[in-house]
């Protein structure tokens, strides 16, 4: 079985995000970048399949500027066999990513695609679902447990009311939740080995996809600073403030 995982380069989760002075977006210059945490979980799940003999090959895919190769190398150091980099300087939206992933899936013919349920930069939570729809494949989102047997995937997924277990036929697109596994740290020997693993370079044109964004960002602002709370002496004063100051009643 061949497994494909998608990895995204995002601002590191430990970094305090700052808005650009011209309010066109967030500051990324001289900012530490890393692999999206949910994608790390996707890679780890693929590596576990590779180690268990369930998967024969694990391919890591990333899309974006040349620096995305660093993210792919991280996935290779974790245990992926090879990488694919779709190089573009466009600001990619989920639909464009899903279309390019579809083209890569058609080239590589994997049995399973694993993606993070969302990226911590845009929180869109759309790419996996869009890819499944474009491919006409089964999908299982927010997976917290995964078992493969007899051409089926049994997935325990997190829903508002608790847990739900479903069985879907392969091929399938799975999006990972936090409880699926704990990603490993890449060891120094594996980091050195990753430098020799192949990364294929592609462009959106080669995949037949127009990555031009369909949405325009008008302005990006930081949220308003929260004001300090006040103590009230009585219920009557609380009701008065809620009615005349907060205007919520």
Instruction: Convert the pLDDT of each residue in 36-70 to its tens digit.
Output: 999 999 999 999 999 999 999 999 999 999 999 99
Model pLDDT, residue 248: 87
Model pLDDT, residue 30: 87
From 3.10.290.10, 3.40.50.620, 3.40.50.1110, 3.20.20.150, which CATH number describes the 2-221 domain?
A: 3.40.50.620
Q: What is the tens place of the pLDDT at every residue in 119-169?
A: 999 899 999 999 999 999 999 999 999 999 889 999 999 888 889 999 999
Q: Which residues of 120-133 are buried (b: 16+ CB within 10 A; e: fewer)?
A: bbeeebbbbbbbbe
Q: Domain map of the chain by residue range?
A: 2-221
Model pLDDT, residue 96: 95
Strand order in the sheet with 112-116: 162-169, 152-159, 138-149, 172-176, 112-116, 2-6, 57-64, 82-87, 199-202
- Distances in Å between the alpha carbon of 174 and those of 4, 121, 129, 143, 240? 11, 20, 9, 7, 51
Tell me the CA end-to-end span of the chain in Å, nearest whole number. 60
Q: What is the tens place of the pLDDT at every residue in 10-40?
A: 999 999 999 998 988 888 888 999 999 999 9
Q: What is the tens place of the pLDDT at every residue in 169-210?
A: 999 999 999 999 999 998 999 999 999 999 999 999 999 999
DSSP, residue by residue, 67-115: THHHHHHHHHHHT-SEEEEEE--S---HHHHHHHHHHHHHHH--SEEEE
Considering only CA atoms, which of 84, 58, 64 is closest in space to residue 1? 58
Model pLDDT, residue 29: 86
Q: What is the tens place of the pLDDT at every residue in 72-116?
A: 999 999 999 999 999 999 889 999 999 999 999 999 999 999 999
Mean pLDDT of the chain: 93
- And the tokens for 238? 């609380």
Model pLDDT, residue 181: 95
Q: In this model, does residue 224 exceed pLDDT 90? A: no
């Amino acid at each position: 079985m061949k497994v494909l995982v998608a990895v995204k380069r995002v601002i590191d989760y430990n970094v305090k995000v700052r808005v650009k002075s011209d309010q066109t977006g967030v500051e990324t210059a001289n900012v530490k970048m890393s692999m999206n945490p949910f994608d790390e979980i996707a890679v780890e799940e693929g590596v576990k399949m590779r180690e268990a003999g369930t998967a024969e090959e694990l391919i890591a895919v990333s899309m974006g500027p040349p620096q995305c190769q660093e993210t792919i190398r991280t996935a290779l150091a974790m245990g992926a066999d090879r990488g694919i980099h779709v190089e573009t300087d466009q600001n990619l939206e989920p639909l464009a990513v899903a279309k390019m992933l579809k083209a890569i899936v058609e080239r590589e013919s994997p049995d399973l695609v694993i993606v993070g349920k969302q990226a911590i930069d845009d929180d869109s939570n759309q790419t996996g679902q869009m890819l499944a729809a474009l491919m006409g494949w089964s999908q299982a989102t927010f997976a917290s447990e995964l078992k493969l047997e007899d051409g089926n995937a049994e997935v325990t997924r997190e829903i508002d009311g608790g847990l739900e277990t479903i069985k879907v036929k392969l091929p399938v697109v799975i999006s990972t939740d936090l409880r699926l596994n704990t990603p490993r740290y890449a060891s120094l020997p594996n980091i050195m080995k990753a430098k020799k693993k192949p990364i294929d370079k592609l462009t959106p044109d080669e995949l037949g996809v127009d990555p031009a964004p369909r949405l325009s960002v008008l302005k990006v602002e930081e949220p308003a600073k929260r004001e300090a709370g006040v103590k009230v002496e009585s219920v009557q004063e609380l009701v008065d403030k809620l009615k005349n100051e907060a205007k919520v009643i």
